[in-house]
Structure 1
Amino acid sequence: MIKTRLSLAVTTSIFGLSLSPIANAEFIKDTTATLEARNYYFNRDFRQEGASQSRREEWAQGFIMRVDSGYTEGAVGVGLDAIGMFGFKLDSGGGTAGTNLLVPDRSGGSQDNSSDLAVAAKAKFSDTAVRVGSMQFKNMAISSSDGRLLPQVFRGGQLISTEFERLLLDGGYLSQVNHRDSGDFEDLKVKAGGKRGINVGGDNSSDAFKFLGGNYRVTEDMTASYYYSNLEDLYKQNSFNLVQVLPLGEGQSLKADLRYTRSTDDGRSNVDNKALGAMFTYSLAGHSVGLGYQKMNGDTGAAYIGGTDPFLVNYVQISDFANKDESSWQARYDFDFKGVGIPGLKFMTRYLSGDNVDLGATAGDGKEWERDIELKYVFQQGPLKNLSVRWRNAMVRSNFTNDVDENRLILSYTLPLL
């Protein structure tokens, strides 16, 4: 639900800034505001025998308003960013809840509607900016999930600096998370369970996540990145990334994306993982063909904050292929129909296969595969211009987890307000 104290803080801050219209000309001029209407249908069928729930199916409508102010004039400029979120149920019930589209209720169903407001104050000096409050994050250490009706936001602070040419520095501190199907903030947790082998002694929660890192543009075609992160008492992590795009001629390129993450425990867990990933993509005239490989080594699978999007090559629509000892590969194909006279239409399909999952001494090795299809069209002109229609289909089969058939239909329209 919308926090009254946050609404009051926003009103008070805007009122205070408006007292100096001359000094705050840039604050107003550089402010942007958008309203996104997001209509989301989600259907997941469980195909394995003995499933406790045969189907999850819900339909919902959401609205996301984003306001990013400019900065006041002066040596140190200040501003405000806000995300207002409102979602309501269109269809659910009969034991089909649990899609993460809507906030659960106490009966095992979903609430009729929910709303929230995320506000962050910001300041900028030269080419260094600081934000404090509630916001989304997207980097190698932490990435907010936006794969359902409303986005996931965190409470904390972040500093981003581009003072040095080719170098971006990024550091932050997070204390709580408001998940995409929740109206309340809560402590952070490491993703456990399943076959990743992560065990936590005592409470699996922490109110302190720190990260520091950045990226350096080595050449026009190559970027190197590094992040250190620590979920206090649960895990420590060092992540490395190297991305190079090699031009091969007109309309052709080869992209290499290499990733390595080392995760260890921080007192209350047994986290011990080395995650290696590589993705190579060849592009030619609207076609893209990609091949990927991912390997887990160590006493556990990959470690990351539950509910977020992990920095893994084979993290896809349903699975992350990050269980203990798992090896997986991916084949992917994309096509942009712009080259054949249909701008706005894009197609993607991929197939992933994983094996060697540690199921225990007597259970043998686990295997899984996932096949995804995605078709997206953005209207280019007329009264429906900028309306996006997106269909996502996935199928998962496994000998150690759920067999799933899934469909998502997402309609999204973003209206610029400022």
Structure 2
Amino acid sequence: MRVMKWSMIALAVSAGTSQFAMASAQDDSKGFVEDSTFSINTRALYFSRDFRNNPSGPGSQSRAEESGLGFNALYESGFTQGTIGVGVDVIGLLGVKLDSGKGRAGTGLFPTGSDGRSQDDYSKGGGAIKFRLSNTVLKVGDQYTTAPVFASDDSRLLPELPQGISITSNEIKGLKLEGGHFTASRSQSQTYHDSLGLTKTDFIGGVYAFTPEFTGSLYYAKTEDYFRKYYSNLNWTHALSDDQALAFDFNIYDTKSEGQGLQRAYNDGTTELDNRAFSLQGAYTIGAHTFTLAAQKVTGDGDYGYGVDGGGTVFLANSVARSDFNAEGEKSFQARYDINMASFGVPGLSFMTRYITGSGANTATTSNGKEWERDIEAKYVIQNGPAKDLSLRLRQATYRSGDGVYYGSPSIDELRLIAQYPLNIL
């Protein structure tokens, strides 16, 4: 699940209002060096997961607790001038253990050795060469991905790092087209090549802004020997007044096993995937307050499967901190409340809470499983001064399922403390 995923509503609003500028970006190129940027994002993360009264839980632990420091350096050159511009991107990632122990490892922050202990540090990196013609960019090499059918995850210290070819085109006003061919991906807590076990993923799709308020998207992806996917999204936002707005977001995946069908359903380990997973959410904003309701359903055979095609490839409303509510046959509902304290004289401070309940899940332990989750989050972003843009975040999740729907774990209490500081050097 994508704990730090972008809001699809926010993305759609951005797409609709920007209208994907028609002017040629390559004509405006100032040069390889002149348009370069270099940034380092530093993330400190404390991660605690309490399995409550479940000593036989994952890793035969009743608790996992670790903390670390992650550095994500990204250099993006500009493009050379001319009809076809050429540039490079370079990524450097370093994770450092601050606190752990053999009996507390297993949070997914660090690689784990044969002795059950987390490594003191780990690093990975890569680069890509890129070409630009007008408003179309071709990139070859290591790169982050955000397509709803192939999205890299960034919910731990360091992000996943896929390797392949991508092309993005904004030539037509209101239309963004993209495609990709990826053959490897390094997971968040591993450094070796293709630690996600990806064979090959090819995808194509795009987003179109019918109006500044209404956007739609359609994608197709095929992950060799795993599955093929179709994805569609419709998003509508409407301002009722200066301080009131409505937003609706609909997502649907159609997934079917392909080739060897290596990723099966979780219920019996042999069922082929052939399902539809869809969600609909509506949000009403008035002043500092946003109220959201969401419904989600999985129909057909097997769970909605993802992961080998990126840990972020789950753009569903009820994919939250612990559970995705994506089991075979499961239906789930969410109620959420957000408040932005800027209206009360504290810009940068916000709070969120949500409750999700699911039922009808078919798993290895039950044919009608139930689960629920409650999430609470507080976030503050410093607005000015030497520490401007430093964000401090507290995330707490409580998960319960008497049927063990989520990987057989009936009770999980999770706490994350996150401090993140983006430093723009160039």
Do both proteins adopt the same fold according to a TM-score greater than 0.5, normalized to the shorter chain?
Answer: yes
Structure 2 residue 370 is matched with structure 1 residue 367:
yes
Tell me how far 1:135 sits from its aligned partner. 0.9
Distance 1:365 1:359 in 2: 8
Tell me how far 1:364 sits from its aligned partner. 4.1
Tell me how far 1:164 sits from its aligned partner. 1.0
User: Residue by residue, what CA displacement relative to the aligned partner does 1:116-161 show, whole Å, maximum 9, x if unpaired?
Assistant: 1121110000111011101110021111111110111101110000
Task: State the match for 1:33 in structure 2.
Answer: 38
Distance 1:267 1:324 in 2: 21
Tell me how far 1:365 sits from its aligned partner. 1.2
Task: State the match for 1:290 in structure 2.
Answer: 292
Task: State the match for 2:14 in structure 1.
Answer: none
Among candidates 58, 61, 69, match of residue 61 of structure 1: 69
The equivalences for 1:110-259 within 5 A come to 110-186=118-194, 188=196, 205-259=197-251
Structure 2 residue 390 is matched with structure 1 residue 390:
no
Task: State the match for 2:50 in structure 1.
Answer: 45
Distance 1:129 1:344 in 2: 34
Distance 2:162 2:119 in 1: 22
> For residue 373 of structure 2, what is the amino acid of its counterpart?
E
Tell me how far 1:30 sits from its aligned partner. 1.0
Task: State the match for 2:97 in structure 1.
Answer: 89
Structure 2 residue 303 is matched with structure 1 residue 301:
yes
Structure 2 residue 347 is matched with structure 1 residue 325:
no
- Report if the CA contact (8 A) 1:187-1:207 is conserved: no
Distance 1:363 1:378 in 2: 43
Distance 2:165 2:307 in 1: 17
> For residue 264 of structure 1, what is the amino acid of its counterpart?
K
Say if 1:308 and 1:363 are closer, same or farther in 2 by CA, change over 3 A.
Answer: closer
> For residue 289 of structure 1, what is the amino acid of its counterpart?
F
Moved over 6 A (4+): none
Task: State the match for 2:9 in structure 1.
Answer: none
- Root-mean-square deviation (Å): 1.4
Tell me how far 1:94 sits from its aligned partner. 3.5
Structure 2 residue 416 is matched with structure 1 residue 408:
yes
> For residue 278 of structure 1, what is the amino acid of its counterpart?
L
Task: State the match for 2:317 in structure 1.
Answer: 313
- Report if the CA contact (8 A) 1:300-1:323 is conserved: yes
Tell me how far 1:303 sits from its aligned partner. 2.0
Distance 2:135 2:335 in 1: 40
Tell me how far 1:109 sits from its aligned partner. 1.3
- Report if the CA contact (8 A) 1:235-1:263 is conserved: yes
- Report if the CA contact (8 A) 2:185-2:198 is conserved: no
Distance 1:216 1:26 in 2: 30
- Report if the CA contact (8 A) 2:31-2:80 is conserved: yes
Distance 2:79 2:366 in 1: 59
Task: State the match for 1:15 in structure 2.
Answer: none
The equivalences for 1:340-359 within 5 A come to 340-359=344-363
Among candidates 246, 261, 266, match of residue 258 of structure 2: 266
Question: Secondary structure at the residue paired with 1:219?
Answer: coil
> For residue 374 of structure 2, what is the amino acid of its counterpart?
R
Distance 2:349 2:236 in 1: 27
User: Residue by residue, what CA displacement relative to the aligned partner does 1:349-386 show, whole Å, maximum 9, x if unpaired?
Assistant: 111000001146x9441110010011010111223222
TM-score between the two structures when normalised by the length of structure 1 = 0.88
Say if 1:260 and 1:384 are closer, same or farther in 2 by CA, change over 3 A.
Answer: same
Tell me how far 1:63 sits from its aligned partner. 1.2
> For residue 348 of structure 2, what is the amino acid of its counterpart?
G
- Report if the CA contact (8 A) 1:346-1:375 is conserved: yes
Question: Secondary structure at the residue paired with 1:148?
Answer: coil
> For residue 145 of structure 1, what is the amino acid of its counterpart?
D
Which structure is richer in relative contact order (CA contacts within 8 A, separation 6 or more)? 2
Distance 2:126 2:53 in 1: 40
